[in-house]
């Protein structure tokens, strides 16, 4: 088969790890970006490689130089979605002043998660919306990343509990699942024409302040 035309731009881009990418890596990233866009809107069953190629402005056979199959491409999108929201939240937490309280770190993580999920990344939306649609085998890589991300939230809640900022009767495990579940579900129903992202972030932070935290004196 002849090598398909690739009109990739010459400007370097960054990989997930932050390194300058080669032309081949940029093309792969472009395919992933387009797959995330299509998957977040059409779902697992409706995602076709021809649509991914059209969105990426590439010839469809180009995809097979980077991914062996549609499912391999979707598996990678699902993992990237989980990994990037995790990385974004970690970066936002790392930027906080050292004296930030554990409760305020949770509130920052809430905002970072929702902004990335709903405003910044098609990947995260695609990963969340298709978690129960893709075959179980395609979920394993993303699920492993999600488990690491869940530990971050468990540590945040435990730190706030140890600091005496959460209700002593609070079930950390259940609360973590409810909070993450509520934020992830927002990808299905949030509409910026009905309420702003700032309103949604504020309401979610209030769930933490008034449903999980001790009353502030």
Instruction: Indicate the domain borders of the chain.
Output: 1-67, 71-211
Q: Where is average pLDDT lowest: 84-93, 126-135, 178-187?
A: 126-135
The 10s digit of each residue's pLDDT in 166-196 is: 999 999 999 999 999 999 988 888 888 898 9
Residues 6+ apart with CB under 8 A from 25: 13, 15
Residue 11 has pLDDT above 80, yes or no: no
Mean pLDDT of 46-59: 93
> Can you name the residues that pair with 14 across neighbouring β-strands?
20
In residues, how long is the chain? 217
Out of 1.10.357.10, 1.20.140.10, 1.20.120.1200, 3.50.30.50, select the CATH number for domain 71-211: 1.10.357.10
Residue 14 has pLDDT above 70, yes or no: no
| Residue predicted with more confidence, 57 or 12 | 57
Alpha carbon distance 23, 12 (integer Å): 8
| Residue predicted with more confidence, 114 or 5 | 114
Residue 20 has pLDDT above 80, yes or no: no
| Residue predicted with more confidence, 16 or 198 | 198
Looking at domain 1-67, does it have CATH number 3.40.640.10? Answer: no
Burial class (CB in 10 A: 0-12, 13-18, 19+), 114: buried
Under the banding of pLDDT at 50, 70 and 90, the label for residue 217 is low
The pLDDT mean for the chain works out to 87
Please tell me the predicted confidence (pLDDT) of residue 92: 97
Backbone torsion region of residue 161, taken as left when φ is above 0, otherwise alpha when ψ lies between -120 and 50, otherwise beta: alpha
Residue 143: closest CA among 155, 153, 132 = 132
Under the banding of pLDDT at 50, 70 and 90, the label for residue 128 is confident
Mean pLDDT of 77-84: 88
Q: Which two tokens stand for residue 55?
A: 């969105």
Please tell me the predicted confidence (pLDDT) of residue 67: 93
């Amino acid at each position: 088969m002849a090598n398909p035309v690739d009109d990739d731009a010459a400007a370097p881009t960054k990989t997930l790890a932050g390194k300058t990418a080669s032309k081949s890596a940029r093309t792969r990233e472009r395919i992933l970006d387009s797959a995330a866009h299509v998957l977040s809107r059409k779902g697992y069953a409706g995602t076709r490689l021809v649509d991914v190629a059209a969105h990426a402005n590439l010839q469809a056979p180009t995809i097979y130089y980077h991914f062996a199959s549609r499912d391999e491409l979707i598996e990678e999108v699902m993992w990237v979605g989980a990994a990037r929201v995790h990385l974004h939240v970690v970066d936002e937490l790392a930027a906080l002043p050292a004296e930030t309280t554990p409760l305020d770190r949770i509130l920052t993580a809430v905002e970072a998660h929702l902004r990335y999920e709903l405003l910044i990344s098609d990947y995260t939306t695609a990963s969340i919306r298709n978690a129960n649609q893709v075959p179980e085998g395609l979920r394993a890589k993303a699920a492993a990343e999600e488990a690491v991300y869940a530990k971050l939230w468990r540590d945040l809640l435990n730190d706030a509990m140890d600091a005496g900022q959460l209700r002593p009767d609070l079930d950390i495990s259940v609360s973590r699942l409810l909070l993450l579940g509520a934020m992830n579900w927002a990808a299905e129903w949030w509409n910026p024409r009905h309420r702003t992202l700032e309103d949604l972030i504020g309401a979610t932070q209030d769930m933490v302040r008034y449903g999980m935290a001790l009353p502030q004196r």
